[in-house]
Amino acid sequence: MAEAGLSAINEQVKASSSFVQDLYQEVGKVVVGQRYLIERLLVGLLTNGHVLLEGVPGLAKTLTVKTLAQCLDVKFQRIQFTPDLLPADVIGTLIFNPKEGSFSTKKGPIFSNLVLADEINRAPAKVQSALLEAMQERQVTIGDSSFTLDDPFLVLATQNPIEQEGTYALPEAQVDRFLLKAIVNYPLRNEEREIMERMANTGPQPKIDAVISPARLLEVRNVVNEVYLDEKIKEYILDLIQATRDPESFKLDIKPLIQYGASPRASIALALASKAYAFLQGRGYVIPQDVKTMGMDVLRHRVIPTYEAEAESLTSEDLLKRIFDQVPVP
């Protein structure tokens, strides 16, 4: 790309990303730390992708998502997934009106902009199937009618890594629909002290102001699409994905440890997420470090280890670290 064109994109990105710091400050009024989590949620919003969150209870996942919705001035709904949940509890149902002898549609909580699917792996297959249509097609079918969901629409699903009783493993086809899988960790000691001092009182919570409107967010997405992705970066992304499928071609001896490599959705997701991350940094072009930063979140749920790997206590993250270390960086 010509230097003048790259400079123009850079200026456009700097102007369009000015809201990001304000958003961090607004969320910071309520949430202490969690910069990693907020960035991943923003990457999902900017790329029109869904985010899967994994972490123990009490790490402010719900609070962060709710606060983010207030900053974006969008509708927010939280659905607690349980083994007895029905598709109608999520998408809505038809209600019979005996006076008129007709049915009317009652829309469910999925008809929001930000939907928090709490403990998503507790819901049975029928609910997962209904949610999958909403995630992939951005529409919901109730009876004979299909309804288009609002834009922006983002599913933020949480999984509790501790308890496995009464849970249903998410189908691979559904897991692959999540742009990112983010691991939420414990706060640092100084952050936890601030959390304790803030929350150990019953006073009113700070008021959160909207930083950006939904319409403006959709405009910003167009700017993210313009972020420059060099040919060498594209080849690097493809090398990383190919290394998960054919590690021997990159002199990696981990083929017996990988059951399935990443699907083509992974290369699309990694390119999109890298562009969005560069945008959040105020840059109009992607650098290799952007790909590395987002790579683990994009790939950790798409690379499936074999039983042999599990027997050696190796996770998909361990295998991906070897791939990132071995594949040449442009």
AA letter at 17: S
User: What's the Cα-to-Cα distance from 49 to each of 189, 260, 261, rounded to whole Å?
Assistant: 32, 22, 21
Q: What is the pLDDT of residue 18?
A: 84
Residue 165, Ramachandran bin (φ over 0: left; ψ between -120 and 50: alpha; else beta): beta
With CA atoms as reference, report the closest residue to 74 among 83, 85, 65.
65
Coil vs helix vs strand at 299 = helix
Residues of the chain under the 50 pLDDT cut: none
Angle of helix 288-299 versus helix 316-326 axis, rounded to 10: 160
pTM, to two decimals:
0.87
Beta-sheet strands, E only, within 184-297: 258-260
13-43: b (≥16 Cβ within 10 Å) or e: beebbebbeebbebbeebbbbbeebbbbbbb
AA letter at 178: F
Q: What is the pLDDT of residue 10?
A: 83
The pLDDT tens digits for 287-330 are 999 999 999 999 998 888 889 888 888 888 899 999 999 898 88
Contacts of 236 (CB under 8 A, 6+ apart): 288, 291, 327, 329, 330
Read off the tokens for 153.
Answer: 């629409």
Q: What is the pLDDT of residue 172?
A: 75
With CA atoms as reference, report the closest residue to 154 among 76, 71, 63.
76
Q: Which domains does the chain have, with CATH numbers?
A: 19-85+112-198 (3.40.50.300), 227-326 (1.10.8.80)
Q: Give Dmax over CA atoms of the chain in angstroms.
A: 73
Q: What is the pLDDT of residue 162?
A: 67
The pLDDT tens digits for 144-183 are 888 888 888 888 988 877 666 556 677 777 788 899 999 8
Q: What is the pLDDT of residue 31?
A: 80
AA letter at 218: L
Taking the chain, what is the end-to-end CA distance rounded to the nearest angstrom? Answer: 17
Q: What is the pLDDT of residue 164?
A: 62
The secondary structure element, H or E, covering residue 78 is strand 76-80
